[in-house]
Amino acid sequence: MADEFLSQEEVNLLLQTLGKEKGKAQEVVEEKVKPLDRSLFEHISAGRIPGLELVFERWVTGLRKNLTSVVAIVPNVIKESTNIVKFSEFSVKLPVPCAIGIFNIEPLRGTCLISLDPKLIYVVVSNVFGGSVKPYKIEGKEFTRIEIKIIQRILNVCYQELENAWGSIMNARVNPIGIETNPALLTMARPRERFILLKVTVILDGNEGQIQLAIPEEAIAPYKELLKGATEMKTRDIEFNTVEAFKKVPVKLEVVLGRGSITFGELLDLGQDSIILLDRQVKEPLDVLIEGVPKLKAFLGQVSRNKAFKVYRYLKKEDV
């Protein structure tokens, strides 16, 4: 029976062991507080500035129309996204080689960038010289002089259309500075400087590449109020364009010389030199129908060798 009980020494050893296990369990459960990564909140939409989105939309529309001056086929240009990113995040994702147009926009502060996807460049070059539109291997390849000239032509279209897009809101001028092909050599901004980044996809005969426009966020800051008020301008533009579109809709005009009635027998007897009397006198104004609805009274006449009518008066509802 004595062997069934623990000695005092064994009890103390057991208590010490339990204490250590409890301490280890507490250490495993305990978690350290991690600092909040604020960069998670920096990829926000620039759509908060309606006027800037309007500029971007017009730029994309301009590219869709005028890139045809560089390529022989009509490209499909799609606006993908607008985000705010750090300069380091933008530059590190650019491929090598990459055509980067460096420029500024007066009166905005800072340096802006336009990057051209090398896949897009090679497809355009192939198209310009009559080759098949197909992607090429680009890793480790430098641009030739001819390719640089094609790049310059594409950038010139981008610059001109960007200047036109800004011109709808403010007087702006795009000043090209140069072209860089190595993203690692871009030193015009601090790594943590924030840029508004617009991504555009250009599709040429089934092959696609990206054009990216990067504008410093601080360059837009002094003009935020002006850009926010551009929504009213956009509404006016829509109204104006709608009215102008309606003005170009063709309508059918008919001038009714007169009306008369005859019997079926008289109809059968009609022949050359037959005369039918109408309910109008020679000098009486005639009805003018617009899309089948009487709207005007007019007199018949002639201008040069063409028949014409001169409006006498507009008809009111009670006249119809």
Gyration radius from the chain CA atoms: 38
Position 60 scores a pLDDT of: 93
Q: So what's the pLDDT on residue 40?
A: 47
Q: Residue type at 26?
A: Q
Predicted structure pTM score: 0.59
Domain regions of the chain by residue span: 40-244, 253-319
The listed range with the strongest mean pLDDT (31-35, 136-140, 193-197, 309-313) is: 193-197
Q: How far apart are CA 241 and CA 233, in angstroms?
A: 12
CATH of 40-244, one of 2.102.10.10, 3.90.1150.10, 3.40.1550.10, 3.10.20.30: 3.40.1550.10
**pLDDT surpasses 50 at 43:** no
Q: 49: closest CA among 211, 192, 222?
A: 222
Residue 111 has pLDDT above 80, yes or no: yes
Question: Are the C-beta atoms of 75 and 65 separated by less than 8 Å?
Answer: no
Q: What value does the mean pLDDT of the chain take?
A: 82
CB 82 within 8 A of CB 45: yes
- The structure tokens 């790049």 sit at 151
**Residue 255 confidence (pLDDT):** 87
Q: Binning pLDDT at 50, 70 and 90, where does residue 162 land?
A: very high
Confidence of residue 204 (pLDDT cuts 50, 70, 90): confident
Average pLDDT of span 243-268: 85
What is the per-residue pLDDT across 80-105, written as a single tens digit (0 to 9) for each? 989 999 999 999 999 888 999 999 99
Cβ neighbours of 258 (radius 10 Å): 13
Contact between 302 and 308 under an 8 Å Cβ cutoff? The reply is yes
DSSP H or E stretch at residue 247:
helix 230-247
The residues, ordered by sequence, that sit 6+ positions from 73 with a Cβ below 8 Å of its Cβ are: 127, 133, 204, 205
CATH fold label, 253-319: Surface presentation of antigens (SPOA) (2.30.330)
For residue 30, the model assigns a pLDDT of 52
